[in-house]
Amino acid sequence: MRHLIMITLGLALAAGCAPQQAGTFNNPVIPGFYPDPSICRVGDDYYTVHSTFEYFPGVPIMHSKDLVHWRLIGYCLTRESQLPLKKARASGGIFAPTIRYHKGTFYMITTNVSGKGNFYVTAKDPAGPWSEPVWLDSGGMDPSLFFDDDGKVYYIRHEGQADGYIAQRLLNLETGKLEGPLKKIWGGTGGIWAEGPHMYKINGKYYLMISEGGTSYDHSVTIARSDSPWGSFESNPKNPILTHKKNPKHPFQAVGHADLVNTPDGWWLVCLGVRPQGGKFHHIGREMFLAPVVFDSNGWPVVNKTGTIDLVMDAPKLPQKIWPEGPAKDDFDSKTLAMQWNYLRNPYPENYSLTERPGFLRLYGSAMTLNDKDSPAFVGRRQVDFSCVASTLLEFEPKSENEEAGLVVRQNDKYHYEIAVTLKDGKRMVLFRKVLKGKVIEPVQYVDIHPGPVILTAKATPLTYEFSCISSTGEVQVLGTARTRDLSVEAIGFTEGMCFTGAYFGLYATGNGQKSSTPADFDWFEYAATN
């Protein structure tokens, strides 16, 4: 059945950019929705964590040997007890994790803005399992940990709102309790949202690095130092040390939220940034970038000589390790979903099965839809290339007109495009629908479909998505196109409140207000970048 129809897909370029030359790398090093990077080193291994907001499981762990090539090895938050997301708003949930390693234990600290606030989990193996949360406090966000030489552990975070500051307390690891009052240690250089703090001890000095300006086009990284972790902190006279806000034509924008790591090849910095397309519109998310750092004669860090980040840069002088690429096609032959798949909020297990029909992902549509602030029957993976094709083979015979199942390009609950099989006027059909600002953009397109399996496809370019289907007879029908800019953070953020996520390709089923009695069977899903 799965070989009835064949599709030929293109090959990927490195990170969706120019071909990589020997001894260089291309930014971003982790493309797609991997924002708010934090990094730690353990021997010859490097690990990053990233924000996940309303998606589950939460906080992916990426692993590298050379800072350029990364692989997903797991998630910190894989249980509802660690990550309660019930009714979490879009772009709620998990904000800005930090990862640190101390005396044989990994620590990941973060904020669940839709839950009880700031907490940390621990693990001996970064791939997991991770512990149950140790809850700290409910104020502020962007927590970080600093382990000093004298055994003291400092808990550092943003306090307040846009006009806030960086504050600090001591953390007792034995009790998991905070000690002493919350003390302001630095207010930044005057930019809004002094956030994302990380502290380092370098050559006897305490350096406090933060981000300012908000996580958009005025984003900047600034740094201060002191002889004591409590301050007072002296601001670098050349702040900011990293920003692109004065380079509006640069292909990378909104760079910030950085973390430093010391390597055998000196200091390096990871940060987030975006790649706008067709103007100031970015839709695949905030991505992870890499740049070298050196300390000048006055002991201040300088990022990439210019305080900016380039597309092509000299690679770290570390032993290169390129991980094998995973298969483009997921045949759903395992009893568990592959690691790249995510749910919306905490999934309802009864909506999913990989065993009732071996070799298929079976979804049972619930009353919930993609528009609801809940967990519909949905699994999705990040779009990490501007030009790519996502396809799935679906077997679905709806019995009533409320039932539908298909393929969605999702930004959040109010912004998504879908192509799906449904029943209309007693006929099995394929629909193409745009939902913007929470409303269906009329008209919805419908085409008749032959009996049997159907392939649903979303083809992306930097500016458009094209949606089509292929019936069991091989007939190809294009249902319509949609603009990528309408799923951009800028289009959403300026009208519906801030959006911090990136585009996902997802498989879904719904009964549109009623529990569906008909299972939707997805035989395979394929994702490939195209030239």
Confidence of residue 21 (pLDDT cuts 50, 70, 90): confident
Residue 162: pLDDT band (50, 70, 90) is confident
Residue 504 structure tokens: 């996902």
Q: Longest C-alpha distance within the chain, in Å?
A: 77
> What pLDDT is attached to residue 8?
28
Is residue 493 pLDDT above 90, yes or no? Answer: no
| ∠ Cα 329 330 332 (to 5°) | 150
DSSP letter string, 277-304: -SSS---S--EEEEEEEEE-TTS-EEET
Instruction: Report the alpha-carbon distance of residue 488 to residue 503 in Å, rounded.
Output: 8
Over residues 189-248, the pLDDT tens digits come to: 999 999 999 999 999 999 999 999 999 999 999 999 999 999 999 999 999 999 999 999
CA 220 – CA 197 distance, rounded (Å): 12
The pLDDT value given to residue 531: 79
Interatomic CA distance for residues 488 and 98, integer angstroms:
26
d(CA 489, CA 497) in angstroms, rounded, equals: 10
For residue 418, the tally of other CB atoms under 10 A from its CB is 24
d(CA 427, CA 411): 30
195 is catalytic: yes
Round to whole Å and give the CA distance between 184 and 529: 47
Low-confidence winner among 16-25, 33-42, 69-78, 200-209 (lowest mean pLDDT): 16-25
Neighbours of 14 (CB within 10 A): 15
Q: Give the Å distances, CA to CA, from 501 to 36, 217, 367, 428, 529.
A: 11, 16, 25, 34, 20
Under the banding of pLDDT at 50, 70 and 90, the label for residue 13 is very low
Domain positions in the chain = 27-314, 329-529
Distance, CA of 460 to CA of 15 (rounded, Å): 15
Q: For residue 64, give the nearest of 314, 268, 256, 200 by alpha carbon.
A: 268
Does position 14 have pLDDT exceeding 60, yes or no? no
For residue 235 the two structure tokens come to 């601001």
For residues 252 and 248, give the distance between their C-alpha atoms in angstroms, rounded to a whole number.
9
> For the segment 273-298, what is each residue's pLDDT rounded down to a tens digit?
999 999 999 999 999 999 999 999 99
CATH class of 329-529: mainly beta
* Residue 36 annotated in active site: yes
Dihedral pair phi/psi, residue 35, rounded to 5°: -85, 170
**CA distance linking residue 243 with residue 217, whole number of Å:** 9
**What sign does the CA torsion over 212, 215, 218, 223 have?**
positive
Pick among 3.40.190.10, 2.115.10.20, 3.40.50.300, 1.10.287.130: CATH of 27-314: 2.115.10.20
* Residue 497 confidence class, pLDDT cut points 50, 70, 90: low
Task: Kindly state the average pLDDT of the residues 86-103.
Answer: 97
Catalytic residue among 142, 195, 330, 395: 195
Residue 403 has, within 13 A of its CA and on its CB side, a CA count of: 18
User: For residues 202 and 220, is the Cβ–Cβ distance under 8 A?
Assistant: no
Q: Which two tokens stand for residue 172?
A: 């007792």
How far apart are alpha carbons 450 and 448 in whole angstroms?
7
CA atoms within 13 A on the CB side of 182: 16
Check: CB of residue 313 under 8 Å from CB of residue 17. no
Rounded distance, CA 93 to CA 111, Å? 8
Total number of residues shown for the chain: 531
Does residue 133 register a pLDDT over 90? Answer: yes
